[in-house]
Structure 1
Amino acid sequence: MFIRNEKSIKEFIQLYPVTGILVIINLSLWLLINFLQLPIGQSIYQWGVGSNFFIEHGQYWRLVTPIFLHGNLMHVLFNSFALVLFGPALEQMMGKWKFVAAYLGAGIAGNIATYLLGPASIMYTHLGASGSIYGLFGLYLYLIIYRKHLIDPGSKQIVLVFLLIGVMMTFLRPGINVHAHIFGLIGGFVLGTILLSNASPYSPWRNRPHFRHAEENDIGFDPNRWKKKRMDPTTKKRIIWGIVILLFLIAWWNRM
């Protein structure tokens, strides 16, 4: 479920448009605000960053807008990578609009919890898609507990490892919005009871009719299979992605 087989960014966006658009929005806004530092970027930040003080005074859009804003480069890269890793399977299984509802719903749940339980000081601000990312974990946790047939054992282990490390980091690292993480996770799990009720199993070939056609017409017996010395491309991708995931876990654990 988490091994990417797409040959290009264009193909990835064609297969998983919601995930692709969300990543583009995250990176574009970060570049606009932090790298280019244009006046419009600063205005977006000032009007979009999470602030319990301003929400208290009627600026309720700040329960949504912080989901798309990020701080430093590592912040936006980690959240975007997590979205690329965990978003596609859910987008296909749930459908585009249910995936949007789950992603935004979990993020909003985390921001509402931050508003209700966090500091009311005008100096306190928060931003980031972490609540939504933890919402994806909540959806997978629902699959693991109640829809076991929709997630394979290997993917289950990956989710549980990420979730365990993520929860540990939430309470051990300073400067993390604990409320957004925990209630984003809970929000995703609760939304799973509704949005995953008719989910279909993930298949990397479902949206690729030309691949499906080739797979259906593939010869089952290869008389030259024993002569092949080179590693199968799929195996290579699995090894590479396994290394990437491992490095991501190590870096995620050690990030500020």
Structure 2
Amino acid sequence: MPSNRQYSDECPPYCTCVDCKGNYVRNYNYQSSGSGIFNISLSRKECPITILLASVNILVLLLDLLLDGKIIEIGAKSSYGIINGEFWRLLTPIFLHADIFHLVTNLFGILVFGSIIEKKLGSMKFVAIYVLSGIYGNTFSFYFSPYLGVGSSGSVFGVLASLLTYFYLNKNMFGYIAKEYLISIITIISISLIFGFISSGIDNAAHLGGILSGLIISLLIMPKHNNGIHIYGSFERSSVVNRIIYKLITNIYLKAFLALFLVLIFIMMITYRSNSGY
């Protein structure tokens, strides 16, 4: 279960057969290796960034232990530090962890969910989702929480939100597999948030910020198979929600509005919190 601490495969083969009414018929052959839907299948060719991120997080924790916490001291999310211009503290916490257990829980999220989204979207888009979700999560934490914070779970929750978006948009193509993913991801997010609200020392603000940014960024960069009809099957029979999402991911002006919204929220949070003092 990914958490931020605070101190007080390629797409499956498919075809686009068309029935007599001109609607796309779902016809796919999804092959999954291993058991379960969340399988760790790592290779330097398919998941170079996932492996790199996991390695960096491990090395940073080991180095921090050797230096007796000096790295956390200069890199943790600190509201006082950010207000005084130390803006790197919005980024560096995603590579820092409080202890080995904290690291292991987030490594699970990086290796399992990160490897899936890197295979689906590619390394560059995965980096964008991971880093921007982490920054946005720390921005939420900066705005709502006065405590020091470390952890990559804002990034992990952004990746989870991206997976949620991907399988929802392509649920017609993946069929029951998409349903299994959606249920599992929603369950993981829900349990993690509930656990965060009832427990002390967990930065749910960072988690929520990661989820929000992960969803929006995914809508901006998510690939649409062919002309997008695969996402919903028959567009005429799509629900209102599907039609709205379809417009969001295909209309350049709406996508620009989403991007502007994300940037404005970021600026407003930083500016207001900085002006209000520590």
**Shorter-chain TM-score: what band?**
0.5 to 0.7
Aligned twin of 1:110: 137
Identity between Structure 1 and Structure 2 (%): 30
Q: How does 1:164-179 map to 2 (within 5 A)?
A: 164-179=190-205
Alpha-carbon distance change, 108 to 26 in structure 1, aligned in 2, over 3 angstroms: same
1:44 matched to which residue of 2? Answer: 71
Letter in 2 for 1:134: F
Cα deviation for residue 20 of structure 1 reads 0.4
136, 150, 159: which is aligned to 1:127?
Answer: 150
**AA matched with 1:3:** N
Where structure 2 has 5 or more consecutive residues not aligned to the other structure, the ranges are 1-36, 227-278
SS of residue in 2 equivalent to 1:126: strand
Alignment match, 2:39: 3
Aligned to 2:221: 195
1:163 and 2:192 aligned: no
- The residue type equivalent to 2:134 in the other structure is G
Displacement of 1:100: 0.3
Separation in 2 of the partners of 1:46 and 1:5?
Answer: 35
TM superposition score normalised by structure 2: 0.63
Moved more, 151-160 or 169-178: 151-160
- Partner residue in 1 for 2:103: 76
- C-alpha RMSD of matched pairs (Å): 2.0
State how far apart, in whole Å, the 1-side matches of 2:39 and 2:91 are: 30
Q: Deviation at 1:38?
A: 3.0
The runs of 5 or more residues in structure 1 that have no matched partner are 7-11, 201-256
Pick the aligned partner of 1:17 from 39, 48, 65.
48
Q: Quick one: which of 113, 116, 135 aligns to 1:86?
A: 113
User: Secondary structure at 1:153's aligned position in 2?
Assistant: helix
Residue 13 of structure 1 deviates from its aligned partner by 3.0
Aligned counterparts of 2:151 and 2:90: Cα–Cα separation in 1: 11
Aligned-pair CA distance for 1:170:
1.9
Tell me which protein shows more helix as a share of its residues. Answer: 1
Distance of 1:28 and 1:172 partners within structure 2 = 31
**Count of residue pairs brought into register by the alignment:** 187
Question: In 2 relative to 1, CA 199–38 (structure 1 residues): closer, same or farther, beyond 3 Å?
Answer: farther
> Equivalent residue of 2:150, what SS?
coil
1:55 and 2:78 matched: no
Tell me whether 1:29 sits opposite 2:60 in the alignment. yes
